[in-house]
Amino acid sequence: MEFMSDHASPYFTKIEHIGIAVRSLEEAIPRYERLMGGRVYKREMVEREGVETAFLLCGPNKIELLESRGSDGPIALFLERRGEGMHHVAYAVADIRSEMHRLKQEGFQLLSDEPNPGADGKWVCFIHPRGVSGVLTELCQDRD
């Protein structure tokens, strides 16, 4: 297939990562290291979400494993309702505030009014899955 660069999103520069909810990082990390043949390069707590994350690299994209630290955070609720599995897709954007504004104008439901500090040095904002074909969607901008 021809690469249609003029058809590409001018706003989302790549899939930054795919988030996967797991019951136990201790079990999921060796499983994903075996799957991908790479190593987790970072583990990090995100206090405001009540999760611990672990990241693996796959070319320009990442896999983010998410384990709940507590029984009532978003990952705990997701695991309770749906079990382990794909939790969200995160897109890289150059200017998260202007993207939040654009998507609000487009009628998407943002889960916060301001970008929040996320894992791995990012500003993040989530979009409600209801308006995105059932997929929780995250915007990420580098926090430098």
Alpha helices in the chain (DSSP H): 25-36, 74-82, 96-105
What whole-number distance in Å separates Cα of residue 120 and Cα of residue 41?
Answer: 10
Closest residue to Zn ion using C-beta atoms: 19
Q: How far is the CB of 68 from Zn ion (least distance, A)?
A: 14
**Do residues 108 and 41 touch, judged by C-beta distance below 8 A?**
no
Q: How far is the CB of 91 from Zn ion (least distance, A)?
A: 10
Closer to Zn ion by CB, 4 or 29: give it: 29
| Distances in whole angstroms, Cα of residue 28 to Cα of each of 25, 70, 98, 105 | 5, 18, 36, 39
Which run of H or E residues covers position 42? strand 42-46
Show the site string, 41-70: x = touches Zn ion by CB under 5 A, - = not: -----------------------x------
Burial degree of 96 (CB within 10 A; 0-12, 13-18, 19+):
buried
Closer to Zn ion by CB, 44 or 106: give it: 44
From candidates 19, 51, 100, 125, binder to Zn ion by CB under 5 A: 19
Closer to Zn ion by CB, 1 or 134: give it: 134
Q: How far is the CB of 126 from Zn ion (least distance, A)?
A: 8
What 3-state DSSP class applies to 38? coil
Closer to Zn ion by CB, 66 or 113: give it: 66
Q: What is the separation of C-alpha 67 from the centre of its chain, rounded to a whole number of angstroms?
A: 13
# of chain residues touching Zn ion (CB under 5 A): 4
Q: Does 115 bind Zn ion (CB under 5 A)?
A: no
Q: Which of residues 69-98 bind Zn ion (CB under 5 A)?
A: 90
Residues near Zn ion (CB under 5 A) are 19, 64, 90, 138
